Structure 1
Amino acid sequence: MNSSSSTEGTQNPEGGRRYYNPYEDLHGPAFDIRPVKNLYQIPTTPEFLFQEEAALKRRSFSDNITFYTGCAYLTGAVTGAGVGLVQGVKAGEAGDSLKLRINRVLNGSGHTGRKFGNRLGVIGLLYAGVEGGIVAARGEDDSINSILAGLGTGVLFRAAAGIRSAAVAGAIGGLAVGAVVTGKQVLRRYVPI
């Protein structure tokens, strides 16, 4: 077979073989990618498949429950695993073997991680539920909903421990969410994105 047959492609500068270039016949402004930024310019605005999605300004109730519960559980599990790791390392005794020390660290990390993750996951679930209820009851979407949801979450989470404990937890929840909402508004206003 002749190496200079009628295959498509560009001629090798040394002569001989021709190499196939699938983009050789594409010309014009649509295919000009010389400034590399034209190839990698990604839009900064959200893209939606349907116009109904673009009109929504907040996540749906089920999306909120999934998001808050998942994020809270993950945060609690990672934090608890770190705390359990430190406790497991500190609990080591002088005569322990390496296997026993590793086992103690793993058990401490797993136990404390599950405990923290479950507690924060329940708090995230309560927060999403209370916030969804408040938004549905008020019919508005503003920062007051978030603060009231933090207050209600604290009260519900500690309700079994008594009225005083529930009131303190509610105040802490409301203040914590208020601080987060304020911090978010400050970041939005003073930090360019």
Structure 2
Amino acid sequence: MAYQPRAPNERNGDESDSTRRLYNPYQDLQIPAQTLYKLPTSPEYLFPEESRAQRRSWGENLTYYTGVGYLAGSSAGAAKGFVSGVKSIESTDTMKLKINRVLNGSGHTGRQIGNRCGVIGLLYAGLESGMVAYRDTDDVINSVVAGLGTGVLYKAAAGPRSAAVAGAIGGMLVGIAVTGKQALKRYVPI
């Protein structure tokens, strides 16, 4: 059914052989292919409570923040490692050795910073989801407290002073990010 000879004047831009045509599985049906499958246009939920919540679930939140943290950290680390690899090249190095230094620097530093940022994203997502479940509301306070707690937990082993500073930095960064997001929603037309 897929192989039918064609008239010499028929042409198809995707094919190089004029004796072949693309197979259409719906050609013998007398209905348009678009009405064959009626797919929903909005997400489907098992329970009505899920549809009322306008946020990601805790599992999606965990996956999202951990993945974004790891990707951003490994990209920034790879760029930093690339620069340090280029700086470590000596004049007597062969081309293979130069490439090896750059790749090793990018991979090593990217992996280190990516893992750190991934752990920070994991802590933040867990704390934010815990705050939403505990307070039963989703607002700015949850995000800021989660940022503060993330900084404290991340630097807890370095001592109380380092943990307090890191907590303050985490809370401020999240506060700035949330405020910037709200300002963008309000003042930037979509």
Query: With structure 2 as the length reference, what TM-score do the two structures score?
Result: 0.76
- Secondary structure of the structure 2 residue equivalent to 1:49: coil
1:137 maps onto 2:127 in alignment? no
Counterpart of 1:186, as a letter, is A
* 71, 74, 79: which one aligns with 1:74: 71
- CA RMSD for the aligned pairs? 2.2
* 44, 47, 67: which one aligns with 1:49: 44
Q: Which residue is equivalent to 1:166?
A: 163
State the Cα deviation string for residues 38-87 of structure 1 (Å, max 9, x = none).
Answer: xxxxxxxx722237353221111111100000110011011101110011
Counterpart of 1:178, as a letter, is G
State the Cα deviation string for residues 144-175 of structure 1 (Å, max 9, x = none).
Answer: 10000000000000000000000000000000
1:103 Cα offset (Å): 0.2
Counterpart of 1:49, as a letter, is E
Distance in 2 between residues matched to 1:130 and 1:56, nearest whole Å: 18
Q: Which residue is equivalent to 1:5?
A: none
Counterpart of 2:187, as a letter, is Y
**Identity over aligned residues, as a percent?**
62
Bigger CA radius of gyration = 1
Counterpart of 1:104, as a letter, is R
Alignment of 1:82-101 (within 5 A): 82-101=79-98
Q: Which residue is equivalent to 2:114?
A: 117
1:180 Cα offset (Å): 0.1
Question: Where do 5+ consecutive residues of structure 1 fail to align?
Answer: 1-21, 27-45
Distance in 1 between residues matched to 2:62 and 2:112, nearest whole Å: 20
State the Cα deviation string for residues 21-49 of structure 1 (Å, max 9, x = none).
Answer: x7xx99xxxxxxxxxxxxxxxxxxx7222
Distance in 1 between residues matched to 2:72 and 2:52, nearest whole Å: 31
Q: Which residue is equivalent to 1:59?
A: 56
Question: Where do 5+ consecutive residues of structure 2 fail to align?
Answer: 1-26, 32-40
List structure 1 segments (4+ residues) > 4 angstroms apart after TM superposition.
none
Counterpart of 2:136, as a letter, is G
